Structure 1
């Protein structure tokens, strides 16, 4: 959600965040905060790329398709 709203992300590495590894900084909080604070281009690049990725992967057609597949598998 943060990336969609244009907020750069620093997070501890957990499996569910792994797909966003190209768009966020992991751990090393002090250096990561410094990196984002001093590198406007990187902040904008991460946000733009993440928003594109998220809108392609998590659009309504994909969600409908995934739910439909689940329901068909259960029938």
Structure 2
């Protein structure tokens, strides 16, 4: 989920909760539990879809994205 949201940020792609659950390839209850945990820890951010009030969008937080940027930069050294 973390890498999916990281890639989505740079692809300027919105990711819904249901899409992220499917991408995780785990039972929905497990995916939802992890989404809640990572949101509670500030790694993910939840927003309402401005075009469809029934959908919730998930994005990687700025601090988590920057941490991953630094991690990947160190890997390429």
Per the TM superposition, whether the score is higher than 0.5 is no
- Of Structure 1 and Structure 2, which has the larger fraction of its residues in strand? 2
TM-score range, shorter chain: 0.3 to 0.5
- Of Structure 1 and Structure 2, which has the larger fraction of its residues in helix? 1
TM-score, with normalisation over the residues of structure 1?
Answer: 0.34
